[in-house]
Amino acid sequence: MTKQEPIAAQSCGIVLFLSVMTDFVLAPPALSGTAQSAIQAVLLCTVLLCVLLPVFLWFPVLTGKLFCALYGAVFLFASASAFLQIQRFYTAVSDVPLSQSIVFGLLLLAALFAVSNGWAAIGRTGQIVLLVFLLSILFLLLGNLTHFRITNLKFTQNLPQKTLTDCVQLFAIPAEILLFCMPNQAKSKVKKAELQKAELQKAIVAIGGVLSLLLLCAELRLGAYGTNQTQPLYLLARMGGISVFKRTDVLHICAWLFAAMIRTAALLYGAKMMIQECFPHKRDAIYTALTALLVTVAAGMCSGLSFVLLRGILSVAAVLLLCAAICGRIRRNVPCANKN
Say whether residue 160 binds other proteins (CB under 8 A): no
7 neighbors 273 (Cβ within 8 angstroms): no
Residue 109: helix, strand or coil by DSSP?
helix
Say whether residue 146 binds other proteins (CB under 8 A): yes
Residue 336: helix, strand or coil by DSSP?
coil
17 neighbors 155 (Cβ within 8 angstroms): no
Residue 242: helix, strand or coil by DSSP?
strand
H or E stretch including 230?
none
CB closer to other proteins, 189 vs 245: 245
Instruction: Output the smallest distance, CB 32 to other proteins, in A.
Output: 17
Candidates 55, 120, 142, 224; binder of other proteins (CB under 8 A) is: 224
d(CA 214, CA 20): 13
d(CA 311, CA 305): 10
CB closer to other proteins, 42 vs 86: 86
Say whether residue 102 binds other proteins (CB under 8 A): yes
Say whether residue 98 binds other proteins (CB under 8 A): yes
CB closer to other proteins, 109 vs 330: 109
Instruction: Output the smallest distance, CB 291 to other proteins, in A.
Output: 15
Residues 168-197 that bind other proteins (CB under 8 A): none
Using alpha carbons, list the distances in angstroms from residue 85 to 46, 80, 88, 119, 205.
23, 9, 5, 22, 24
Say whether residue 30 binds other proteins (CB under 8 A): no
Candidates 145, 160, 225, 316; binder of other proteins (CB under 8 A) is: 225
Say whether residue 110 binds other proteins (CB under 8 A): yes
122 neighbors 263 (Cβ within 8 angstroms): no
329 neighbors 92 (Cβ within 8 angstroms): no
Say whether residue 239 binds other proteins (CB under 8 A): yes
CB closer to other proteins, 97 vs 209: 97
Instruction: For the chain, give the number of residues.
Output: 340
Residues 247-286 that bind other proteins (CB under 8 A): 247
Instruction: Output the smallest distance, CB 187 to other proteins, in A.
Output: 29
CB closer to other proteins, 102 vs 293: 102
Stretch in the footprint of other proteins (CB under 8 A) among 125-133, 143-151, 194-202, 312-320: 143-151
d(CA 15, CA 265): 10
Residue 59: helix, strand or coil by DSSP?
coil
Stretch in the footprint of other proteins (CB under 8 A) among 6-14, 76-84, 107-115, 185-193: 107-115
Say whether residue 95 binds other proteins (CB under 8 A): yes
Candidates 113, 198, 282, 316; binder of other proteins (CB under 8 A) is: 113
Q: Which residues contact 139 (CB under 8 A, 6 or more apart)?
A: 240, 242, 248, 251, 252
Say whether residue 293 binds other proteins (CB under 8 A): no
CB closer to other proteins, 89 vs 171: 89
Alpha helices in the chain (DSSP H): 9-26, 35-58, 65-93, 100-116, 119-144, 159-170, 175-180, 183-186, 190-222, 232-239, 249-278, 284-302, 307-332
Candidates 62, 80, 222, 325; binder of other proteins (CB under 8 A) is: 222
Interface residues with other proteins (CB under 8 A)?
92, 95-99, 102, 105-106, 109-110, 113, 116, 146, 149, 151, 155, 222-225, 235, 238-239, 246-247
